[in-house]
Homo-oligomer: A and B are copies of this chain.
Amino acid sequence: MEKYVHILKGKGLKITPQRLTILKYLDENRTHPDADIIYNDLKSMNPSLSRTTVYNTLDAMRNIKIIQELTISKTETRYDYHTDPHHHFLCMKCGSIIDVDIKCPHQDSKEVDGHRIEEIHGYFKGICKICSNE
């Protein structure tokens, strides 16, 4: 848990039990969950947790860039504990998001056509290996 305290402190965020819990959850669940899944999974162990806090916390952590928002799915925002740059595959059948580790020549670009880049997202959509085999 000291690890998460350190990460938050380093970025100037106040340490709260809720933030530690959510950050730990994202670190240990690399399934690209959405806010509602995070809320429901943590609710049982943290009965006072509020949905709004989950949203607020995710937003705060996105601001300091320790997590990343994925807008690959049309219906909900999903979250990714931010480490090395990588692309994502969304299965249009089962809805799971899978990391794809491919080389992208633009991954470290700071601008395109004069526009300043802050985030780069590579999204593939299709049918995943498992769903393809029925």
Contact = CB atoms under 8 A, between A and B. Distances in A.
Contacts of A121: 72, 121-125
Interface string A116-132: 11111111111111001
B106 A102 contact: yes
- Chain A contact patch, size range: 35 or more
A74 interface: yes
A45 interface: no
Interface of A: 69, 71-74, 77, 89, 91-92, 98, 100, 102-106, 109, 111-129, 132
A54 to B, nearest CB: 16
Nearest to A70: B71
A89 to B, nearest CB: 5
A67 to B, nearest CB: 14
A21 to B, nearest CB: 24
Contacts of A73: 71
Contact of A117 (B111, B114, B116, B124): B124
